[in-house]
Amino acid sequence: MSLFDRPEYSDGTRVGLLARVPVTAQKILDIGCNRGAFGRSIKAKRKVEVWGVEPDRASAECAGECLDQVIIDYFHERNPIPDAYFDLITFNDSLEHMPDPAYALVLSKRKLIQGGRIHCCVPNMRQIDNLEHLLFEKDWRYEAQGIRDRTHLRFFTEKSIVRLFEDTGFKVLEVTGINEQWWASDKFWRRVFFVCFRNLLVTCVPSKYS
């Protein structure tokens, strides 16, 4: 794999994120929908219209088999996506791949109905594994996937992702973590450190904004 090749990302249903989709959402836009598993899972539970945006053609064509509309492109203002149409827009680990996340959020605001929401999931640079890598290995080693994914263009902490949304005119309703099982590993001192300094190590992987 070269530096510019797209990794083969998993296309799971993202149960932790799926549970946070409001039951009132009837029209959903999934930015970076991959092969459509997230939207397909929503549609399997109830009647809902799900659109997707996906730049990888093979993944987008697969998503097109289960979603209502799929735009094979990056997310930008020239996409044939209606304004003031969606109840919910999701960025499930896609915002960090964008050169200008603020532009994506401002554009999303145009696509939402009054009172619509954005649900956004991003990696947290302060996650404990990444801190260990920085502190003990004294390195920044890009990887095929994960927090230091070689295709990530932007990096966030809890504070910076909240600031990004607030600076683009959104009101933050909730910030919560979904991958906090790391502290229950067999690394005794990691668990001790987590208990003693929980506020320093709190993991903020997904976030929900409005």
Assess if residue 101 is contained within a domain. Answer: yes
So what's the pLDDT on residue 165?
Answer: 97
164: number of Cβ within 10 Å: 21
So what's the pLDDT on residue 198?
Answer: 59
Question: Which CATH number characterizes residue 172's domain?
Answer: 3.40.50.150
Assess if residue 130 is contained within a domain. Answer: no
So what's the pLDDT on residue 177?
Answer: 79
Assess if residue 27 is contained within a domain. Answer: yes
Tokens of 189: 């001192």
Q: What is the pLDDT of residues 130-171, one digit of tens each?
A: 888 888 889 988 888 888 888 888 999 999 999 999 999 999
Assess if residue 9 is contained within a domain. Answer: no
The stretches in the chain having pLDDT less than 70 are 1-14, 179-210
In this structure, what DSSP letter does residue 78 have? T
Assess if residue 162 is contained within a domain. Answer: yes
In this structure, what DSSP letter does residue 186 have? S
- Provide the number of structural domains found in the chain: 1
Assess if residue 1 is contained within a domain. Answer: no
Inter-residue contact 28 to 90 (CB < 8 Å): yes
Q: Which residue segment(s) compose the domain that 63 sits in?
A: 15-123+155-180+205-209
Assess if residue 20 is contained within a domain. Answer: yes
Q: Quick one: the chain helix, strand, coil %, rounded to 5?
A: 35, 20, 45
